[in-house]
Amino acid sequence: MRVYVQVKQLGKRKCSIEKIPVDFPVPPVDVQELIEAIVSWQVCEYNERLQQSEVLKYLTQEEVENKATSGKVGFAVNYNGKPATEVEAITNALQSYEDGIFRIFIDDAEAGDLSSPILLEEDSTLTFIRLAMLSGRLW
């Protein structure tokens, strides 16, 4: 099953939002399984990029041109050099969802709490919105 993921962060000036296709071999049945599947996919992507960056220590001309269009040319630096741990990432993501750090919308309808059932259809759009926390005192 192919769905599309888009991430929005409130308060960012970047207007372009790109839909990223994701294939689920087995569609998740609730919000918790959805978060676990997305985090597992992202951890695998991150660890693969980390291994590739250890092999390549230079940027090609094409990479420089692509990064120049975004306004910043640089290496994807991982200062500690450690790969991500899937179990820790999933635990952190589930806790963040429960704490209200981000929300998930499936085709413009909010997903609900972790145990809420979901129904993903072919070409559904998953929107992850990271909520900005305000700091300061109330007078």
Q: Please give the chain's pLDDT, 139 residues, in tens.
A: 889 988 765 555 655 577 888 888 888 999 999 999 999 998 988 888 777 765 556 667 787 787 777 777 766 655 566 788 899 999 999 999 999 899 999 988 999 899 999 988 888 999 988 887 666 665 5
The domain tally of the chain equals 1
CA distance 105 to 80: 33
CA distance 19 to 3: 9
If one counts every other C-beta atom within 10 angstroms of the C-beta of residue 57, the result is: 7
Does residue 37 fall inside a structural domain? Answer: yes
Does residue 135 fall inside a structural domain? Answer: no
What are the tokens at 41? Answer: 């996919």
User: What does the pLDDT look like over 12-34, one tens digit per residue?
Assistant: 565 557 788 888 888 899 999 99
Q: Is the pTM of this model over 0.85?
A: no
Query: Which position has the token pair 């290496």?
Result: 75
Does residue 59 fall inside a structural domain? Answer: yes
For the CA atoms of 110, 117, 21, 93, the dihedral, rounded to the nearest 10 degrees, stands at: 80
Does residue 136 fall inside a structural domain? Answer: no
Instruction: Look up residue 25 and give its amino acid.
Output: P
